[in-house]
Amino acid sequence: MTFEGRPNRDAEVVLVGRSNVGKSTLMRELTGHDVSTGKKPGVTRRPNHFDWAPQSFMFTDLPGFGFMTGVEEEKREAIKTDVVRYVEENADSIVAGVLVVDGKAVIDIIDRHSDADEIPHDVELFGFLQDVDVAPVVAVNKMDKVDDRDERLDELCDRLGLYPPWQQWSGEGGTIAPITAKKGSIEPLKEALRGHFREAKRDDLLQFVK
Q: What is the pLDDT of residues 136-190, one digit of tens each?
A: 999 999 999 999 999 999 999 999 999 999 999 999 999 999 999 999 999 999 9
Contact 49, 6 (CB under 8 A): yes
Report the 10 Å Cβ neighbour count for 157. 20
Quickly state the pLDDT bin for 113 (edges 50, 70, 90): confident
177 in Cβ contact with 189 (< 8 Å): yes
Rounded CA-CA distance 26/51 in Å is 16
CATH top class, domain 11-209:
alpha beta
Q: What is the pLDDT of residue 38?
A: 44
Lowest mean pLDDT among 63-67, 116-120, 157-161: 116-120
Residue 40's pLDDT is: 46
For strands 136-141 and 57-61, give the pairing. unpaired
Q: How confident is the model at residue 58 (pLDDT cuts 50, 70, 90)?
A: very high
Question: What radius of gyration do the chain's Cα atoms show?
Answer: 16
- pLDDT value of residue 147: 93
CB 44 within 8 A of CB 64: yes
Poorest-pLDDT segment among 66-70, 97-101, 122-126: 66-70
pTM score above 0.75: yes
* Amino acid residing at 128: F
Helices (H) and strands (E) in the chain, counts: 6, 6
Cα separation values, 159 from 53, 60, 137, Å = 38, 26, 15
**Percentage of the chain surpassing pLDDT 70?**
88
> What is the residue type of 84?
V
Query: Which of left, alpha, beta for 134 (phi over 0: left; psi -120 to 50: alpha)?
Result: beta
